[in-house]
């Protein structure tokens, strides 16, 4: 699978870093989005306009801001193929509000919703063409939130933009994963403050990667306004995790 980071920023975006979104190409024309916070979704890319499923982690604006505009583009592009949006149950009201803002005539007819209550790791959907299962587990955030696991054959990748570290359900989802994309919102110096806010520091991400025994850690939901040098993020995580560590900048891609 190939994962393109469309938006890597925490809630204070920068010129280079936009809000949360990940485009995942699973092969055999299966493509999914996780989160829809970034303006980059409006780039008129065919591979974005034709995604099969959209998985929203939670209701905060930095994860859903451009969903409505994307759906409007899809409608203008004469999309007929069904599109399912998966989200935690308490996000439904916010998401449909954002969609209606950009689609005043109503939610486009090709859109369906599936809501769930994230808890222990749970199977959400199987995509048979690409031999992929999507799983969800509860994140430890300030509102109901999910992390998503993409299981393709023996390869598991877990993406969790917003969470405090040491979140039992997410550690279970990420156990033995090929890669973990993990919240890195707050700087090193305020690790305990970050946890109280339902977010993580580079150290927290490193601890989780070590506990879950993953191979690769990708730092996301980063604050580049605070960390101008990405290498400082890596140094924080490397205090606890000795596997591969990368910073998931906007437009970076990872293949697993
Ligand atoms: Zn959030
Ligand atoms: Zn966020």
Q: Is residue 97 part of a domain?
A: yes
pLDDT digits (tens, 9 = 90+) for 57-87: 999 999 999 999 999 999 999 999 999 999 9
pLDDT digits (tens, 9 = 90+) for 89-107: 999 999 999 899 999 999 9
User: According to the model, what pLDDT value does residue 16 have?
Assistant: 86
Q: Mapping DSSP to helix (H, G, I), strand (E, B) and coil, where does residue 164 land? A: coil
**Alpha carbon of 78 to ligand 2 centroid (Å):** 31
C-alpha dihedral sign at 84, 86, 92, 96: negative
Q: Is residue 242 part of a domain?
A: yes
Q: Is residue 229 part of a domain?
A: yes
Q: Is residue 256 part of a domain?
A: no
Do the beta carbons of residue 256 and residue 155 sit within 8 Å? yes
Specify the CATH number for the domain of residue 145.
3.60.15.10
What is the domain extent for residue 188?
2-251
Provide the number of structural domains found in the chain: 1
Q: At what angle do helices 202-211 and 230-238 cross, to 10 degrees?
A: 40
Q: DSSP H helical segments within 141-201, as ranges? A: 168-174, 191-196
Q: Is residue 135 part of a domain?
A: yes
Mean pLDDT of the chain: 94
**Alpha carbon of 51 to ligand 1 centroid (Å):** 23
Q: Strands across the sheet with 30-34, in order?
A: 111-116, 83-88, 53-55, 30-34, 21-27, 2-7, 253-255
**Alpha carbon of 142 to ligand 1 centroid (Å):** 7
CA distances for 249 relative to 13, 15, 80, angstroms: 12, 12, 33
**Nearest ligand to the C-alpha atom of residue 140:** 1
Q: Is residue 22 part of a domain?
A: yes
Q: Is residue 75 part of a domain?
A: yes
**Alpha carbon of 63 to ligand 1 centroid (Å):** 7
**Nearest ligand to the C-alpha atom of residue 62:** 2
């Amino acid at each position: 699978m190939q994962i393109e980071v469309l938006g890597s920023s925490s809630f204070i975006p920068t010129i280079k870093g936009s809000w949360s979104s990940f485009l995942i190409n699973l092969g055999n024309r299966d493509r999914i989005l996780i989160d829809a916070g970034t303006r980059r979704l409006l780039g008129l890319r065919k591979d974005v306009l034709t995604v099969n499923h959209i998985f929203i982690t939670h209701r905060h604006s930095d994860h859903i801001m451009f969903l409505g505009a994307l759906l409007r583009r899809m409608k203008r592009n004469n999309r007929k193929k069904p599109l399912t949006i998966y989200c935690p149950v308490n996000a439904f009201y916010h998401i449909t509000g954002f969609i209606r803002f950009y689609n005043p005539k109503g939610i486009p007819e090709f859109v369906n919703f599936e809501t769930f209550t994230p808890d222990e790791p749970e199977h959400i959907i199987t995509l048979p063409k690409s031999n992929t299962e999507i799983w969800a587990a509860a994140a430890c955030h300030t509102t109901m939130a999910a992390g998503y696991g993409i299981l393709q054959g023996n390869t598991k990748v877990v993406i969790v933009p917003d969470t405090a570290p040491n979140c039992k359900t997410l550690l279970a989802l990420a156990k033995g994963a090929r890669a973990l994309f993990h919240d890195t919102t707050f700087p090193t110096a305020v690790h305990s403050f970050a946890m109280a806010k339902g977010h993580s520091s580079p150290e927290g991400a490193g601890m989780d990667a070590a506990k879950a025994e993953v191979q690769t850690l990708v730092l996301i939901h980063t604050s580049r306004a605070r960390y101008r040098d990405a290498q400082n993020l890596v140094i924080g995580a490397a205090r606890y995790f000795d596997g591969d560590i990368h910073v998931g900048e906007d437009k970076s891609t990872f293949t697993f």
